[in-house]
């Protein structure tokens, strides 16, 4: 089987294209990464390129030593992933120290992995640990409505979580741990990676003010579905705020407690402060 014929590569490409279709990936905006399973690496081993030079990641991820990732390329357009995947995406291998990577497939016209590689890998390292190896997908998208909300809501985990939960009953079911928010920072480096990975210790969703969102999940469907649900909730909130300044009725603290009881959710009291 060629690398392009494997299920995880096909699923990755479909997810990237679904994200483009949502309008979340203007130009080269956004990036996606997948921690490849050992049996998937074994199945493609004979088709990987001869190992090239190691490159510094710019972050230290010893918890990912020896792992392989499928990631989008820096500067590549999501629009083009489905058109010419071998140009736009790449398989990288992490070294035994977790300090360096090398390219093993893809990017056939040259280039590097995503500019957000430090954040992707630091998030993967945290999520691999806290999910006991279950989480494999990290997704960054420029989701219009969440970005718009970061101009008008206080940049607190409590306010964003609570407002997004209220907008659709499925929200506390889909992201019961809530969402984390960080204020504006320069993207593409170690500092924003450290702040984002701190949020990933607790949440599966991290919002970057005036920029976009990161989501983590076990597989492509769950991670895309999470991004989609949070962004749709933000769209509803923007519609509500645009219609009137005060909500006439909403989902109350006690309603969330009842939902938690019946759906066996652990909804922290931290977010149930309104009464
Ligand atoms: O250009 O989205 O955050 C890719 C990005 C950087
Ligand atoms: Zn971005």
Is the CB of residue 31 below 6 angstroms from any atom belonging to ligand 1?
yes
Percentage of the chain beyond pLDDT 70 is: 100
- For ligand 1, pick from 31, 32, 139, 215 the residue to mutate: most ligand atoms within 8 Å of CB: 31
Q: What Cα–Cα distance (Å) separates residue 95 from each residue in 119, 126, 127, 129, 132?
A: 17, 18, 19, 18, 21
Is the CB of residue 189 below 6 angstroms from any atom belonging to ligand 1?
no
Closest-CA residue to 105 (of 121, 93, 117)? 93
The CATH fold of domain 143-275: L-fuculose-1-phosphate Aldolase (3.40.225)
Question: Residue 275 Cα, ligand 1 centroid: separation in angstroms?
Answer: 39
116 carries an active-site annotation: yes
Question: Residue 211 Cα, ligand 1 centroid: separation in angstroms?
Answer: 9
User: Which residue lies with its CA nearest to atom 1 of ligand 1?
Assistant: 29
Instruction: Decide if 1-115 and 143-275 have a common fold.
Output: yes
Question: Residue 173 Cα, ligand 2 centroid: separation in angstroms?
Answer: 27
Is the CB of residue 116 below 6 angstroms from any atom belonging to ligand 1?
yes
Dump pLDDT digits (tens) for 203-261: 999 999 999 999 999 999 999 999 999 999 999 999 999 987 677 778 899 999 999 99
> How many residues make up the chain in this entry?
275
Contacts of residue 85, defined as CB under 8 A and 6 or more positions apart, other chains included, come to: 4, 9, 13, 106
pTM of the entire predicted model: 0.94
Token reading at 100: 């360096």
- 64 close to 121: Cβ distance less than 8 angstroms: yes
Q: In the chain, where are the structural domains located?
A: 1-115, 143-275
Q: Strand (E) positions, the chain?
A: 31-35, 55-56, 68-72, 89-94, 100-106, 137-141, 180-182, 205-208, 212-217
The CATH fold of domain 1-115: L-fuculose-1-phosphate Aldolase (3.40.225)
Dump pLDDT digits (tens) for 118-133: 999 999 999 999 999 9
Dump pLDDT digits (tens) for 145-180: 999 999 999 999 999 999 999 999 999 999 999 999
pLDDT computed for residue 186 by the predictor: 87
């Amino acid at each position: 089987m060629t690398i392009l014929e494997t299920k995880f590569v096909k699923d990755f490409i479909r997810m990237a294209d679904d994200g483009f279709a949502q309008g979340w990936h203007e130009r080269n905006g956004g990036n996606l990464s997948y921690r490849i399973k050992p049996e998937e690496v074994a199945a493609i081993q004979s088709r990987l390129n001869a190992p090239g030079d190691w490159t510094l990641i710019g972050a230290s991820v010893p918890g990912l030593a020896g792992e392989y990732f499928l990631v989008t390329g820096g500067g590549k357009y999501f629009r083009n992933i489905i058109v010419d995947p071998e140009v736009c995406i790449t398989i990288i291998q992490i070294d035994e120290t977790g300090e360096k990577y090398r390219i093993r497939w893809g990017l056939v016209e040259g280039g590097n992995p995503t500019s957000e590689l430090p954040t992707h890998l630091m998030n993967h390292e945290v999520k691999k640990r806290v999910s006991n190896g279950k989480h494999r997908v990290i997704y960054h998208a420029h989701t219009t409505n969440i970005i718009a909300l970061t101009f008008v809501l206080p940049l607190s985990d409590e306010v964003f979580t609570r407002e997004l939960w209220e907008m659709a009953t499925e929200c506390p079911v889909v992201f019961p741990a809530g969402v984390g928010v960080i204020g504006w920072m320069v993207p593409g480096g170690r500092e924003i990676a450290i702040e984002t990975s701190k949020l990933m210790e607790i949440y599966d969703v991290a919002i970057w003010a005036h920029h976009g969102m990161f989501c983590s999940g076990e597989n492509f469907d769950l991670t895309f579905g999470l991004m989609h649900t949070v962004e749709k909730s933000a769209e509803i909130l923007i519609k509500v705020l645009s219609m009137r300044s005060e909500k006439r009725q909403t989902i109350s603290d006690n309603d969330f407690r009842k939902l938690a009881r019946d759906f066996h959710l652990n909804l922290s009291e931290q977010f149930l402060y309104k009464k």
